[in-house]
Amino acid sequence: MTYLVTWTTAALAQLAAIVALHGDRRAVDQAAQWVDYTLRRIPYEVGESRQSADVRLWYGDVLGVYYHVNPAALTVRVASVAPARRPRA
């Protein structure tokens, strides 16, 4: 099965802010593409559930994402994104 992945406007704005602060645009872009690719294929096999099995939180090397899965509609909605690690001082 392949899920349709959408990003909320807030998540896209958060991603743009991460790109601006991270310093390595390519790493953030690659991480976002990996998140999208993975969530299209195996949204339940990454991250951990929150509140219910369909509300999940996944931390990767660069990004952390909070997303909702709708198994009936085969959709995933990325609600929020943040840096997975604190910037080094």
Whichever domain contains 73, its CATH number is: 3.30.2310.20
Contact 6, 75 (CB under 8 A): yes
Decide if 88 is inside a domain: no
Q: What is the pTM of this model?
A: 0.88
pLDDT, one tens digit per residue, over 32-57 is 999 999 999 999 999 899 888 899 99
Answer whether residue 60 is part of any domain: yes
Mean pLDDT of the chain: 91
Q: How confident is the model at residue 65 (pLDDT cuts 50, 70, 90)?
A: very high
Q: Is residue 16 part of a domain?
A: yes
Tens digits of residue pLDDT in 68-83: 999 999 999 999 999 9
